[in-house]
Amino acid sequence: MDKSSTSAIGTCRKLGVVGIPISKGQRRNGTEKGPQTLRDGGLLERLRKFGCEITDHGDVTLDCIDDDIPYGNVKNPRNIAMGSLRAADVVEKCLRTEGRCLAIGGDHSMAIGTIMGHARVQPDMVVLWIDAHADINTPLTSDSGNMHGMPLAFVAEELAPFVPPLPGWEGIQPCIKVEQIAWIGLRDVDPGERKIIEKFGMSAFSMHDVDNNGIKGILKKALDAVDPSGTKPIHVSFDVDAMDPTHTPSTGTPVGGGLSVREMCFIAEELALTGRLTMLDIAEVNPNIGDPKDVSHTVSSTIDVATHFFGHRRQGFVPAN
Ligand SMILES: NC(=[NH2+])NCCC[C@H](N)C(=O)O
Ligand SMILES: [Mn+2]
Ligand SMILES: [Mn+2]
């Protein structure tokens, strides 16, 4: 592909948008307002400017299941299962009609549903999990019991023997293999998660690796690990806490020393240039955290990065009109 072209990548390309206002995967209220906050911040209008033909599927309906008693220390298992199944159906429909989907959350438990929905349409897709956290705790390794720290344990086949049958989870099956997953941005990995990463030889790139190789080197290593042929559809699951809290302060589990807006834009532009990005999740924007300035800073950094996944290039471009 000619990377020096000034035309917008992805011009006039269809993109379906799905809101997943889930917050029961962690303990702080507010992530359920993430989709509305990003919409109010102008996300869809900005994307349209870069040539996206957007179909907005609205927000997934999540009715509250009362009496969702914990399973051990795991909180809200039935609500998360119901939300994941609903999200999977909408994402599947969106990918079958528009071919590309942007899912706006919502805490990161949203990705159980988006990955399930995506895998139904493109079972060979690969997942780049961009996050400070590995989010691969099982219900047995998790200290917090928060399901936003567990999504990858539910979707990866090899983990199934280590995941107990949770109430409400009968309809949820693993749908990808550990070799289809790579992380970028890690800097807060629990001991049990590290054990899983090593046991299965998974491709986990931390901020140490980013410092060591540069963002270009690490993105290449991550893509080579999950897709050496360079042909597979790509699912990016972007937790805004992957970025440094100076850019995205309004998030529930911030960790210092994160990716810069500049590094995220590089990842986003490179992935857009592959022409194979079929699904992007944006997780963990929480407008209840911080003051109004923090919230607007978080929203603008997140929207800025999002546009670069769908056509915005820092070199500039000539609009198609
Ligand atoms: N999606 C997130 N922000 N996850 C944070 C997870 C933190 C911690 N590892 C846990 O399991 O509770
Ligand atoms: Mn995180
Ligand atoms: Mn996460």
pLDDT at 316 over 70: yes
Residue 319 pLDDT greater than 90, yes or no: no
CA distance 215 to 219: 6
Indicate if the pLDDT at residue 29 is higher than 90: yes
- The residue-averaged pLDDT of 182-207 equals 98
Query: Count of domains in the chain?
Result: 1
The response to whether residue 24 sits with its C-beta less than 6 Å from ligand 1 reads no
Q: Is 109 in the pocket of ligand 1 (CB under 6 A)?
A: no
- The reply to whether 245 falls in a domain is yes
Query: Exposed, middle or buried by CB within 10 Å (0-12, 13-18, 19+), for 296?
Result: middle
Q: In which domain, by residue range, is 123 found? A: 12-309
Note residues around ion ligand 3 (Cβ under 5 angstroms). Answer: 108, 131, 133, 135, 239
Instruction: Evaluate whether residue 2 is within a structural domain.
Output: no
pLDDT score for 318: 76
CA dihedral of 248, 249, 250, 255, whole degrees rounded to 10: 90
Q: What CATH number is attached to the domain comprising 189?
A: 3.40.800.10
Distance, CA 101 to ligand 2 centroid (Å)? 21
CA distances from 291 to 28, 253, 294 (A): 16, 16, 5
Q: What is the mean pLDDT of the chain?
A: 95
Using DSSP bridges, classify how beta strands 52-59 and 101-105 pair: parallel, antiparallel or unpaired: unpaired
Residue closest via CA to ligand 1's atom 8 equals 149
What ligand 1 atom has the least distance to the C-alpha of 25? 1
Tell me, yes or no, whether 321 lies in a domain. no
Residue at 314 is within a domain: no
Q: Is there an atom of ligand 1 within 6 Å of 281 CB?
A: no
Per-residue model confidence (pLDDT) at position 2: 45
> 148 CB under 6 A from ligand 1?
yes
pLDDT digits (tens, 9 = 90+) for 218-259: 999 999 999 999 999 999 999 999 999 999 999 999 999 999
Contact between 265 and 302 (Cβ < 8 Å): no
Domain membership of residue 187 (yes or no) is: yes
Whether residue 11 is predicted with pLDDT greater than 90 in this model: the reply is no
Reading the block at residue 149, the tokens are 């720290």
What is the tens place of the pLDDT at every residue in 93-148? 999 999 999 999 999 999 999 999 999 999 999 999 999 999 999 999 999 999 99
pLDDT number for residue 6: 47
203 lines ligand 1 (CB under 6 A): no
Instruction: Give the closest ligand to the alpha carbon of residue 148.
Output: 1
**Is residue 25 within 8 Å of residue 147, measured between CB atoms?**
yes
Residue 320 has a pLDDT of 64
**What is the model's pTM?**
0.96
Triad 93, 99, 102: Cα angle to 5°? 80
Residue 264 to residues 43, 187, 276, 307, Cα–Cα distance (Å): 17, 16, 17, 11
